[in-house]
Structure 1
């Protein structure tokens, strides 16, 4: 319920548009993780007070967070 509500309230497209000019682009080496995915992971970390590793584990364990 909470995540569905946040999906409608957070302006994902507008936030990505603001951040995109400053986000790393693919070049030599590893491709960066997609901007929207990273932004959503950051928000999940803040909303649920998760450390990096805890956020990764939560994403692997929860189908609701993977959407």
Structure 2
């Protein structure tokens, strides 16, 4: 089956766009996961520190 030149170029352009978007996702998703992990870790450390301070204050009052 022979395709006309315009159709061939449209297929090439759409394929290139799909490949480019796939590469962006392959790079972006791990970076976003790393960022989310570091934010969660920071929040966890903050909460842990606050809880230690609260417990220390409660123990000192007793």
TM-score (normalizing by structure 1): 0.25
Larger radius of gyration: 2
Q: Which has the higher helix share?
A: 2
TM-score (normalizing by structure 2): 0.27
Q: Which has the higher contact order (CA 8 A, sep 6+)?
A: 1
